Structure 1
Amino acid sequence: MNLHKTLLPPHAELVRAMLERDTSYEGVFFTAVKTTGIFCRPGCTARSPKPANVEFFANAEQCLAAGYRSCLRCKPLDTAASAPAWVQTLFTLVDADPEQRWTDAQLLAEGIEPLKLRRWFKQHFGMTFHAWLRARRLGMALGGIKQGDSIDDAAFDSGYESLSGFRDAFQKSFHITPGRAANSEPLLFTRLTTPLGPMIAMAERRGLVLLEFLDQASLNPEVQALQNRFGYAVAPGHNLHLQQIEAQLSAYFAGTLTEFSVALHMPGSEFSRRVWAELAKIPYGRTTTYGAIAATLGKPGASRAVGLANGHNRLSIVVPCHRVIGADGSLTGYAGGQPRKAFLLRLENAAVQITEQLAF
């Protein structure tokens, strides 16, 4: 069985999504046009080709292997790969000198177009480069305060010449004063590349707290709730949990990992945590319903409440809310979009079938 081939939706659905430029199918499939030899993302704004001249592939690598070239307008390889080389170079420069204040002139001197950089960061981090840079410096200051540095040292070490300016920026970013920061919990975040589009992962010392697709509407409210209700100070960074989820997600999408082992920390109400615990028990490649979960919890009439708690799950894929379907077999809602939900279920089902075939 060809794992990648089984990941494609039905042909009619692919044609409709292509003709309507449905961006919710980003990463689910790629369109290859036989008459031009070019392949595109589903939402490409170029003139739609005739369906008879098109073939569909599950990933960019298959398009390249079939002899197609990347579209210059929608740039499908940019979404299929990790950060482009020019962004990786900038990351290296920032790591080498975290206190540097990057001006447009300095960016241009490095061959980086400021507007292009702004767009890339907004798409993949949900903020501009300069906002990310400020958050990163403040995150380093937060780490210093947690380790016993004075507020003065933290301010000047992070490049602020004014204590009042540092305090204002710190409170605006973390919703707490520097004086209270020693008692707060840093929540570090990083961007992850997946075949279904960029995701953001957040983790504190106890484990992974959030894993969501960057384009979903519920992301900002979720982050605000973590800050306001649970006292987290959110900043760019990296830790062991974020490194683990990056590696494990890669293996999951390759069809070789069926159970995540990264540590999790899931603040929420008692009922929500009970629902999330049941979600985590749904076997790979299987599905269940809201009603079945409610019955397991001893609350057979609480399907709606289970659905709400399921929707408040902050850990996409790892806590597999995508494995919950309607009683009639329909996919029902999914914060990342139903095309992604369908893709994840096809991925798991195909991997299970391959495993079963190899066992015989």
Structure 2
Amino acid sequence: MNATITLPDFETMYQAIVDRDAAMEGLFVVAVKTTGIFCRPGCKAKTPKRENVEFFATADEASAGGYRPCKRCRPTEPAGSVPAWLTKLIEALEADPSRRWTNADLTTMGLSPIRVRRWFQMHYRMTFHAYLRTRRIGLAVDMLQTGQDVTSVAWDSGYESLSGFRDSLRKWTGQTPTSIKQGEPILVDRLLTPLGPMLAAGSDAGLCLLEFADRKMLPKQFERISKLFAQPILPGTHPVLTLAAEQIQQYFDGTRAEFTLPLRLDGTSFQETVWNNLLEIPYGQTSSYKQLAQQVGKPNASRAIGRTNGDNRLAIVVPCHRVVRSDGHLCGYAGGLWRKKWLLEHERKAKQTQLPL
């Protein structure tokens, strides 16, 4: 089945740059004839006149057309990259994750606490100070699981009292130091893609979440997996997250058609059946909700198939974006319909020109 792929018309794209609509990120870039510069749809620069713009599907096409990338919105870099003004702070956080930062510290570095707060809320779904607290807890969990005693862990991870450490640990993980030693947290990290940052979560048992960071249902998904697996969720790194980042990058480079990641597809029997059938849809092809319903033995369950697609926690890897209407038209995608269009077009082009499939 061939899906109907249509890019926005000129008026839609122009209105997007007027509105600075970052939701259109990845679908096109806008080039300004009078300046020779091209930008993202959400760039904060002055809106150019209608007659002075032209649109390209990718930054590479704009560059080939003789345009230079905007230094303000940096359209050639992955969306969600750490901006230059924040780099020094991020480096300091990585160098000493146990440090307690204050707004005065940020001001001393020449940073606006409000601006920092907004960036962390946008990219991590939490404030800067909440991020610091979860990082300290993540550091403490790592040390507890290596066998260190509770008192040493409390001091080394930046806590001023043992009781404060125990209370904080219980608040953020729902567990005591003793139970933490016996269990395993789910770790979550950001990875960058041409369609915006994604959040990946996993543990030794496998990858359990991969979602675009701006998805409205993301907090609910985190709540679900925390209850489903009875494990705390903390910022951190893990080999499965590193592997996921590598394979997602290869997918977007057009050099990977299949993923070889350990997955946690836990759900109801019906959900697991649907998700496993999604994994069988070939790269560069599509299936319909009706076809999936027939494949799972529920020919009248097209609506249930749609809901289960929406509950998919592993975007791209479990390719719910390859499901379309019976007439071939696109509909419904939790990450945004524009992303669904982009992914299908990307796979179609890669299959034709790059991947030896």
Using the size of structure 1 for normalisation, the TM-score is 0.88
Tell me the residue number matched to 2:139. 140
Tell me the residue number matched to 1:9. 7
Aligned ranges 1:1-360 → 2 under 5 Å: 9-12=7-10, 13-19=12-18, 21-44=20-43, 48-64=47-63, 66-70=66-70, 72=72, 76=75, 80=79, 82-355=81-354
Give yes or no for contact 2:189–2:236 (8 Å, CA) kept in 1: yes
Give yes or no for contact 2:198–2:210 (8 Å, CA) kept in 1: yes
- Kindly provide the amino acid, as one letter, of the partner of residue 67 in structure 1: Y
Measured after TM superposition, the shift of residue 354 of structure 1 is 1.6
- Shift of the 169–297 alpha-carbon distance from structure 1 to 2, 3 Å rule, reads same
Q: Bigger CA drift: 309-318 or 168-177?
A: 168-177
1:141 aligned counterpart, secondary structure: helix
Q: Bigger CA drift: 192-201 or 88-97?
A: 88-97
Give yes or no for contact 1:184–1:231 (8 Å, CA) kept in 2: no
Measured after TM superposition, the shift of residue 281 of structure 1 is 1.0
Measured after TM superposition, the shift of residue 248 of structure 1 is 1.3
Give yes or no for contact 2:31–2:67 (8 Å, CA) kept in 1: no
Measured after TM superposition, the shift of residue 230 of structure 1 is 2.3
Residue by residue over 1:128-164, the C-alpha shift from the partner in whole angstroms, topping out at 9 and shown as x without a partner, is: 2221121011012122333333433332221112223
Residue by residue over 1:269-300, the C-alpha shift from the partner in whole angstroms, topping out at 9 and shown as x without a partner, is: 22111111111111100000111111111111
- Kindly provide the amino acid, as one letter, of the partner of residue 232 in structure 2: A
1:36 aligned counterpart, secondary structure: coil
Give yes or no for contact 1:285–1:352 (8 Å, CA) kept in 2: yes
- Kindly provide the amino acid, as one letter, of the partner of residue 208 in structure 2: V
1:232 aligned counterpart, secondary structure: coil
Residue by residue over 1:84-108, the C-alpha shift from the partner in whole angstroms, topping out at 9 and shown as x without a partner, is: 3454443332233222112233334
Measured after TM superposition, the shift of residue 175 of structure 1 is 3.0
- Shift of the 81–99 alpha-carbon distance from structure 1 to 2, 3 Å rule, reads closer
- Kindly provide the amino acid, as one letter, of the partner of residue 148 in structure 1: G
Q: Bigger CA drift: 181-190 or 218-227?
A: 181-190
Aligned residues: 351
Identity %: 46
Measured after TM superposition, the shift of residue 181 of structure 1 is 2.5
- Kindly provide the amino acid, as one letter, of the partner of residue 171 in structure 2: K
Give yes or no for contact 2:80–2:123 (8 Å, CA) kept in 1: no
Structure 2 gap segments, 5+ residues each = none
Give yes or no for contact 2:69–2:75 (8 Å, CA) kept in 1: no
Residue by residue over 1:5-54, the C-alpha shift from the partner in whole angstroms, topping out at 9 and shown as x without a partner, is: xx982544534544554432112211111123333322345554343321
Give yes or no for contact 1:121–1:129 (8 Å, CA) kept in 2: yes
- Kindly provide the amino acid, as one letter, of the partner of residue 32 in structure 1: A
Looking at structure 1, the residues matched to 33 and 6 of structure 2 have their Cα atoms a distance apart, in angstroms, of 18
Looking at structure 2, the residues matched to 129 and 79 of structure 1 have their Cα atoms a distance apart, in angstroms, of 22
Give yes or no for contact 2:80–2:197 (8 Å, CA) kept in 1: no
Give yes or no for contact 2:199–2:212 (8 Å, CA) kept in 1: yes
- Shift of the 304–355 alpha-carbon distance from structure 1 to 2, 3 Å rule, reads same
Looking at structure 2, the residues matched to 254 and 232 of structure 1 have their Cα atoms a distance apart, in angstroms, of 34
Give yes or no for contact 1:27–1:59 (8 Å, CA) kept in 2: yes
- Shift of the 8–296 alpha-carbon distance from structure 1 to 2, 3 Å rule, reads closer
Tell me the residue number matched to 1:3. none
- Shift of the 116–173 alpha-carbon distance from structure 1 to 2, 3 Å rule, reads same
Measured after TM superposition, the shift of residue 219 of structure 1 is 0.2
Give yes or no for contact 1:280–1:320 (8 Å, CA) kept in 2: yes
Looking at structure 2, the residues matched to 159 and 88 of structure 1 have their Cα atoms a distance apart, in angstroms, of 23
Give yes or no for contact 2:30–2:56 (8 Å, CA) kept in 1: yes
Looking at structure 2, the residues matched to 308 and 206 of structure 1 have their Cα atoms a distance apart, in angstroms, of 26
- Shift of the 329–140 alpha-carbon distance from structure 1 to 2, 3 Å rule, reads same
Give yes or no for contact 2:135–2:236 (8 Å, CA) kept in 1: yes
- Shift of the 195–21 alpha-carbon distance from structure 1 to 2, 3 Å rule, reads same
Q: Bigger CA drift: 179-188 or 303-312?
A: 179-188
- Shift of the 81–231 alpha-carbon distance from structure 1 to 2, 3 Å rule, reads closer
